[in-house]
Amino acid sequence: MTLSNLPIGIDLGTTNSVVATVSDGGFEVVPNARGDKKTPSVVSYDQDSQSVFAGRQADNRAIHHPEKTVKSVKRHMGTDETFSLGPDQYHPEEISGLILKKLIEDAGNELNRPLSNAVITVPAYFSDAQRRATKRAGEIAGIDVDRVLPEPTAACLAYGLQSTAGKRVLVYDLGGGTFDCSAVKIDDGVIETLGVDGATDLGGDDYDSLIVNWVADTIADEYGSPPALNNPKVNQRLFGAAKEVKHELSSRTSAIHQLPFLELQNGDTIDYELNITRGEFAEITAGPTQETIDIMNGFLNDLGLTPSQFDDVLLVGGATRIPAIRSAVEQFFGQEPRTDLNPDQIVALGAATQAAILNDIEVPAVSTTNIVPSTEASQGEAAINEGSNPILIDALPRTLGVELQEPRTNDTYFQPLIQSGESIPARAEINVTPVRAHQTKTRFTIYQGDEGTLEGNDEIGELVLGPYPPKELDEYSQRATMEIDSDGIITFTAVSLDADVSDTTEIETRFNREEETLGGTNPDLPALHR
C-alpha cells in the first residue's frame, strides 16, 4: 500500500475512541502511544506548562484538575456550547478536533507513516448539525474526512454481513453517551438501513451517575452527611469509582473500591469502602436499561416489525458488556445477541472496512488475531468481510419539513416532507400559496425533528422566494421541493410556477462555523503535550 491511501477508520466515542486500519495482513486496531487499543475521549489544559493533553494523560488529570478537563464532548456536538481550556473558549467540534489530532498522530507514529484521510463514525440518530460538526472536527484536526459513517452500518461491515442474503439485523448500540437501535436489511451486497431510533443523551455515563447517587445516599444514611459532590475533585473521584466497579461487575459478581479520605458535605473526612454486587448494580441501573428496551419496542412498532423477525442482533459499544443489558436484549428478542467481536472495536473496524472500499483497496477475507474477541480470554479468529464492495443505503434519522401557516387562523404548524426512516437519497414536494394577496416574496423556514410542533424541532435553515409579481391569492401557484442526497446534504427549492421565478438553497444548519477560528483568536489547534 502507498502512503496516500492507507485506509483509516475512527470510532470517535463519547468515553473512548478507537482507530483501525486494513493492512496487508488483515484488520488491525492501531494502538496509541501508550500501547492501548482505545484512547479516552478527554482533553485537559495544564496551567503551568500552558499545554494541552489529550487521551489517557488528560483522563488521569481529571481528578485533580476537573475544572480544566473536558469529558463526554460528543454529547454536545452540533451545539453552541463552549468549553474553557486555558485562556480560550472552544466549541465542541474543536475539542473533538483535539481528540482526533491525538488519535491520528499516534496512529501515524505506530504505522510509521503520515495519515491524512479517514472515515469517522457517528451515531445513526445524530442530526444533520451533529454530523456536520463531526466532519468539521476531522477537518480541524487536519483530516480529510472521506465519509461520516453511521455506527450501525459500520458494525454490519465489521461482521462481514454484506455477504449474506435476505437477512434482517438489529444493531443495539449503547456507548458512553449515546444509544442507537437500527434495523438493517442485508441482501446480495446491499446494506439498507430500514430505520433508526435512539437517544443522544443516554449511555454508560448515565449508569455511572446512578451509582454515584446511590453511593451518596448510602454515605448520607450511614454518616449523616453526603459526599461533597459540589467539590469537583470529590465528584471526579466518585465517578471514577463508579466506572471502575461498572467495568469489574461485567466479569465478576461483586466489586470493591476503596475511597480513602473522602470529603463529606459537612466538612468531615471518611475512609469509605464501596462494596456492590452485580444484582445491586442491575437494580440501581434498571431505569436506563429499560429505557433502551422501551425505545426499541416503540421503534419496531413504528416499523411494523416484531423482535422475532430479526435473524441477528448485534451488540455494539462498551456499555453492552453489562450483563443486565445483554440479558434484557436476549429476553426482548428471544435470541442470544452476537458478542463474538469486541464491542469496543466493532465500529472502528467497520469504518476501516469502508475506508478501504472507498480507496479501492481489497478487503481481507478474514481477520487476524489483532482483533480482540469480546471475551478477552478467547483468541479465536472471526470472519469480518468476504471481499465484496457493499452498497450502503442509509435512512433519514429525523423528519425534514417546513413551517406553514393556516390562512384562516394565522396559526403556524410543522408540515413533514421527508419522514424519518425513509431511505436516502429521498425527495418530496408540496404545492403552496402565499398567505396574503399581492405578496411579492414567500419565506420558507425548514425544520428537522420528530415532534409534532415547531417548538419541539430544530430550525435548520430558510429560503426566501422572490421577488415575484403581486397577484390575487387564487392566481398564485408555487411549489417547494426538499431533497437529501446519499451524503446527507439537504437541498430546498421553491418555484413560483406562475411567474417563472425560483430559488434554491443548500441547507446550512445552525451548525455553521466553518470560517470561525479557534477560541476566537487562534487559527490553529494548540499543540498537544507528548
* Helix, strand, coil share (%) of the chain residues, nearest 5: 30, 30, 40
Judged by DSSP in three states, 275 sits in: strand
Contact call for residues 317 and 175 (beta carbons, < 8 A): yes
CA angle, 16 as apex, 15 and 21 as ends, to 5°?
155
Q: How far apart are CA 301 and CA 452, in angstroms?
A: 18
Q: How far apart are CA 266 and CA 260, in angstroms?
A: 17
Q: Please give the grid coordinates belonging to residue 351.
A: 469504518
Contact call for residues 149 and 176 (beta carbons, < 8 A): no
Q: What separation in angstroms does the CA of 112 have from each of 108, 136, 221, 280, 406?
A: 6, 26, 56, 47, 63
What CATH number should be reported for the domain whose range is 400-506? 2.60.34.10
Selection from 114, 108, 136 nearest residue 12 by Cα: 136
Whole-prediction pTM value? Answer: 0.81
Contact call for residues 93 and 137 (beta carbons, < 8 A): yes
Helical segments of 92-190, H only: 92-111, 128-140, 151-158
Q: Please give the grid coordinates belonging to residue 45.
A: 489544559
Selection from 501, 410, 399 nearest residue 460 by Cα: 399
Instruction: Break the chain into its structural domains and give their ranges.
Output: 3-202+289-393, 204-286, 400-506
Per residue in 254-294, pLDDT (tens digit) is 999 999 999 999 999 999 999 999 999 999 999 999 999 99
- Counts of helices then strands in the chain (DSSP H, E): 10, 26
Pairing of strands 69-70, 144-150: unpaired
- CATH match of 204-286 with 3.40.50.300: no
Contact call for residues 318 and 178 (beta carbons, < 8 A): no
Q: How far apart are CA 336 and CA 329, in angstroms?
A: 8
- Taking phi first (over 0 means left), then psi (-120 to 50 degrees means alpha), and beta for anything else, what does residue 374 get? alpha
Please report which helix (H) or strand (E) contains residue 441, including its range.
none
Q: Please give the grid coordinates belonging to residue 242.
A: 463508579
Q: Which residues contact 326 (CB under 8 A, 6 or more apart)?
A: 315, 320, 337, 339
Q: How far apart are CA 193 and CA 292, in angstroms?
A: 19
Judged by DSSP in three states, 214 sits in: helix
Q: How far apart are CA 96 and CA 98, in angstroms?
A: 5
- Would you give the DSSP letter of residue 203? S
pLDDT tens per residue, the chain (530 residues)? 444 568 899 999 999 999 999 876 677 899 999 999 999 999 999 988 888 999 999 999 988 888 899 999 999 999 999 999 888 899 999 999 999 999 999 999 999 988 989 999 998 888 888 888 999 999 999 999 999 999 988 998 888 766 567 889 999 999 988 899 999 998 877 888 899 898 888 999 999 999 999 999 999 999 999 999 999 999 999 999 999 999 999 999 999 999 999 999 999 999 999 999 999 999 999 999 999 999 999 999 999 999 999 999 999 999 999 999 999 999 999 999 998 889 999 999 999 999 988 888 776 653 333 333 333 333 333 334 444 567 777 888 889 999 999 878 889 999 999 998 888 889 999 999 898 899 999 999 999 988 888 999 988 889 999 899 999 988 999 999 999 987 677 899 999 998 888 888 877 554 555 544 444 334 456 667 66
Contact call for residues 63 and 53 (beta carbons, < 8 A): no
Q: Which CATH superfamily is domain 3-202+289-393 in?
A: ATPase, nucleotide binding domain (3.30.420.40)
Q: Please give the grid coordinates belonging to residue 408.
A: 384562516
